[in-house]
Amino acid sequence: MLLFRFPQGNFEPGNIPPAEFQALAKKWQDWAGGIAAQGRLASNGNRLALEGKVLKPGGVITDGPFVEIREMLGSFIIVKADSLEEATTLAHGCPALDTNGSVEIRPVMK
């Protein structure tokens, strides 16, 4: 599973001009299309909405931040690879990296 994390605030609505957003969307799609073209896309996951809730011990519910670190989980895809190394190779070129984000590569337990 490839998990994409982004610096918080990067994708807040209104932060990006529409044209730039479109260009970014195209980049993402071209990148994921490249993985699919190799027949290695198992699931293109779900995009996570920006809003949500966080439940903390003691029943405290807040609207975020989602984690106490500077990055938030944006979305994920599941790829087919024989090893973690192979999956990591597929993650190269991911547009998240261009926007100071990161890709976390984790095996899915069968």
Partner 1 sequence: MEKEKESLKRLFQQEFSKMVAVISSLFGLEHIEIAEDVVSEVFLQAAETWGDKGMPPNPTAWLYAVAKQKTLYYFRRNKILEKKVIPELASRQEKSQEIAEPNFSQQNIRDSQLQMLFAVCNPAIASEAQIGLALRILCGFGIDEIAEAFLSNKETINKRLFRAKEKLRTENIKMELPPENEIAGRLDNVLHIIYLLFSEGYYSKTQNQILRKDLCIEALRLGLMLTEYERTRLPKTNALIALMCFHASRFDARETGGEGFILYEQQDEALWNQELIAQGKHFLYLSAEGDEISSYHLEARIAYWHCIKEDSREKWENILSLYNQLLMVNYSPSVALNRTFALYKANGRQEALVEAEKLKLENNHFYYLLLGELYKGFDNEKAALQFQKAYALAKTQTERSGIQEKIDSLY
Stretch of 4-12, 22-30, 49-57, 65-73 lying at the interface with partner 1 (CB under 8 A): 22-30
Q: What is the DSSP string of 17-46?
A: -HHHHHHHHHHHHHHHHHHHHTT-EEE---
Q: Is 37 in the site for partner 1 (CB under 8 A)?
A: yes
Residue 36 CB, nearest distance to partner 1 (Å)?
A: 4
List the one residue out of 18, 43, 16 whose CA is nearest residue 99: 16
- The count of other CB atoms within 10 Å of the CB of residue 2 is 22
Nearer to partner 1, 44 or 102 (CB): 44
Nearer to partner 1, 38 or 88 (CB): 38
Binding footprint of partner 1 on the chain (CB under 8 A): 26, 29-30, 32-34, 36-39, 41, 44
